[in-house]
Amino acid sequence: MKRLSVVGCLLSVILLGVWIRCGPIPQIQPQTTPTIVDRHGVILYEPLSLGGTRSKWITAIPDNVAAATIAAEDRRFYRHVGVDPVAVARALAHNVKHLRVVEGGSTITQQVAKLMLPRADRSLTSKIREAVIAQRLEHRHTKREILALYVNLAPYGQQTVGIARASDRYFGCAAEQLTVAQAAYLAALPQRPGTPKRALARQRLILHRMRDLHMITAADYRIARAERLAFERGHHPLIAPHFVVHLMDPSKTFIQTSLDANLQREVQGIIAAHRADLLRHGAHSAAVAVFDNRTREWLAWEGSGDYFGETFGGAIDGVTTPRQPGSTLKPFTYALAFEQGFTPATVIADVPSHFATAEAGVVYTPRNYDGRYRGPLRARAALAGSENVPAVALLSRIGPESLLRFLRHVGFRDLNHTADYYGVGLTLGDAEVTLEQLIEAYAVLARGGDGVVSRRTAFWITDILSDPNAREYIFGSGGSLDFPFPVAAKTGTSQAYHDNWTVGYTRELTVGVWVGNFDRDELRNSSGITGAAPIFHDVMLAAVMRLGGGGGPIVDRPSDLERQPICALSGHRPSTECPAIESEWLPPSDHVEFCSWHHREGVELPAEYRALDANVRTAEPAVLHVLNPPNGATYLIDPTLRREFQALRLRASAPVTWIVDGRHTQEEWPLRGGKHTITAVDGEGRCDSVTITVR
Ligand SMILES: [Zn+2]
């Protein structure tokens, strides 16, 4: 009986021993919280885990880290079996001496057990549980593996868990790059030293122990003691938040993006620098994106200019928010017209016109921004000057159906309504699109058409949008759209001035800017050329400076296009009677149409320019006269005066559009040497010309 109970006891002890060593341990999930970086590895954002920490799991533990950790936590680590009676005894003695708990006597293995258990406290039950788990860890893992678990699971302060994040957070380097002094400093942190001063004191103690334990030589010790620790100035960045949130993916721990963090910062700085100007226009938000035409990657992406500004919806991403694009859609109307046989020399009527709409009996009468009409306008000038009437006239020729199909094909995916729904407003930008789509669509042109449109069309549109002379008659010269390298650019303003846009491209980059309010508050004193354009200018310059490019033609000229002379007014091949001759990139044609508008007796415009409201016709003088300058006059340029102050004021007997040497111009015409033909054209197709000489 007695023997039986002894055997039973023995068996129980063995079973208990087996259970202690071999029982289950909590599952360990190697945890790495995500890091989102730019194209060069610069950190854009590091979100926190649900527990409010950042972590990174590593498998190989650097020797410096291993040595410093053992010196700091458990100098007999390699000699005990998970629990260290010597350490417990020493801790007890210390605690009795100080009459309070100053040392725990826990081994590294016990601490790993504690970190693995969800609810560990300082109770005796917890201590026993930790000791049991420590036994199981020792049974299943090598010492080096247990050490790796510890440095991956230990908290190092500043919301970091694990040595890898801690190295990066405190010293801006990887764990394997830590010096002895740095490794010793970090090894001091899991015990929560409280202040940096106490952490440094503990670091010295750890270095001391490392030397005493022969982990480092006396020379290493001296070097480590002498090292002045340089800490990372710590803040966790949030660069390009609008872009980053699109990419958040819980299944990924490392996300490399296409962004360029430096360019992104520069874009944010540019918006900030224009903030006062934006507010003057009543605009609280600005969205900017920079696109690499070749790789089709986003290089910068700013959604509002102020992600954390709550009053005006800063977290809304203006790059992906559909808005009315205004005139920025016009180039696509012209592109389709060019695909269908129009050329930049084709003349379009900028005269008071009425267009039928889908609604029976309802006609649409488009107006230009300045309320004026410019008579016959070549497509080049009409697009560059962003005139509304010719754009609607073009649309009525090509049809809203085919324009809508074309716009969807170019990438405006949100145009879900029917052509009847949009009507002629389609070319004036009443249909909502996003800045993202707008930029991608312009990039199609920058790439030479990309198979969506012909290279010829892409070249023509690009050549017109990068022609400062062609837009001068509306927008003046100089200013935000002028660059020291070719840039094709277009501005736009939505109906009722809610949105202001500028989009443009070089061969390499496309930049888009939207300015407005997410609550659709109206802008003040804002046209296509204010608000967005100055930001566009600065961003384009910054992007080209940083990423290069900008030299050479944007789109290579197709070999079948040649500079050919045209009559400035009719766009046809000039006859001997044409007073002003321009040139245009045109394909050689076997059928050359000569100008039939100019005769020896003067000019006679086609009927469409004369078909007018009878009331207007009777109310105004029948003949149009250039009043200033007088025909045949000679002007002298004063060499002592600056050029911009020497302008000639052009005047006529009625409101007119001015054409000097075939080029539309403003009323204040800056004097240029030579012989010049000055033509006045009014909205009713009447015309008068004078010739002057400037010396
Ligand atoms: Zn002519």
Distance (Å) from CA 598 to ligand 1 centroid: 5
**Is residue 682 pLDDT above 90, yes or no?**
no
- Higher local confidence (pLDDT), 468 or 237: 468
Provide the token pair at 123.
Answer: 């109770």
CB 620 within 8 A of CB 642: no
Pairwise CA distance, residues 435 & 502, whole Å: 10
Q: What is the mean pLDDT of residues 497-511?
A: 94
pLDDT tens readout for residues 579-636? 889 999 999 877 788 999 998 887 888 877 765 443 333 334 467 888 888 787 777 7
Provide the token pair at 583.
Answer: 């040139």
Distance (Å) from CA 470 to ligand 1 centroid: 19
Residues sharing a CB contact under 8 Å with residue 693, sequence separation 6 or more, in sequence order = 633, 634, 635, 674, 675, 676
Distance (Å) from CA 392 to ligand 1 centroid: 25
Report helix, strand or coil for 656: coil
Distance (Å) from CA 677 to ligand 1 centroid: 13
Burial 27-65 (b: 16+ CB within 10 A, else e): eeeebbbbbbbbbeeeebbbeeeeeebbbbbbeebbebb
- Higher local confidence (pLDDT), 332 or 310: 332
Per the document, the length of the chain is 695
> What pLDDT was estimated at residue 620?
43
Residue with tokens 């100080």: 98
CB 664 within 8 A of CB 473: yes
Residues sharing a CB contact under 8 Å with residue 629, sequence separation 6 or more, in sequence order = 635, 648, 650, 678, 690, 692
Distance (Å) from CA 312 to ligand 1 centroid: 54
pLDDT tens readout for residues 265-278? 999 999 999 999 89
CB 528 within 8 A of CB 492: yes
Pairwise CA distance, residues 648 & 632, whole Å: 14
Pairwise CA distance, residues 84 & 362, whole Å: 94
Distance (Å) from CA 594 to ligand 1 centroid: 8
Residue 123 DSSP label? S
Distance (Å) from CA 332 to ligand 1 centroid: 28
CB 333 within 8 A of CB 446: no
CB 554 within 8 A of CB 505: yes
3-state helix, strand, coil in the chain (%, to 5): 40, 20, 45
The pLDDT confidence band at residue 430, using thresholds 50, 70 and 90, is confident
Query: Which of 554, 603, 553 lies closest to 578, judged by CA?
Result: 603
Distance (Å) from CA 584 to ligand 1 centroid: 14
Distance (Å) from CA 351 to ligand 1 centroid: 19
Helix (H) or strand (E) segment spanning residue 680: strand 674-681
> What pLDDT was estimated at residue 252?
87
Phi, psi of 380 (to 5 degrees): -55, -50
Distance (Å) from CA 376 to ligand 1 centroid: 12
Q: Which residues surround ligand 1, an ion (CB under 5 A)?
A: 567, 570, 578, 595, 597-598
> What pLDDT was estimated at residue 613?
40
> What pLDDT was estimated at residue 543?
97
Amino acid (one-letter) located at 675: K
Distance (Å) from CA 352 to ligand 1 centroid: 23
Neighbours of 390 (CB within 10 A): 31
Q: What is the mean pLDDT of residues 504-513?
A: 97
Distance (Å) from CA 366 to ligand 1 centroid: 28
**Is residue 560 pLDDT above 80, yes or no?**
yes
When mean pLDDT is compared across 42-46, 205-209, 458-462, 658-662, the lowest value belongs to 658-662
Residues sharing a CB contact under 8 Å with residue 257, sequence separation 6 or more, in sequence order = 36, 37, 38, 39, 44, 240, 243, 244, 247, 298
Query: Which of 577, 659, 556, 595 lies closest to 345, judged by CA?
Result: 595
Pairwise CA distance, residues 225 & 189, whole Å: 18
When mean pLDDT is compared across 196-210, 273-287, 437-451, 621-635, the lowest value belongs to 621-635
Distance (Å) from CA 689 to ligand 1 centroid: 12
Distance (Å) from CA 18 to ligand 1 centroid: 106
Distance (Å) from CA 593 to ligand 1 centroid: 11
Distance (Å) from CA 500 to ligand 1 centroid: 38
Distance (Å) from CA 579 to ligand 1 centroid: 7
Please report, rounded to a whole number, the percentage of residues in the chain having pLDDT higher than 90.
51
Distance (Å) from CA 200 to ligand 1 centroid: 88
Please report, rounded to a whole number, the percentage of residues in the chain having pLDDT higher than 70.
94
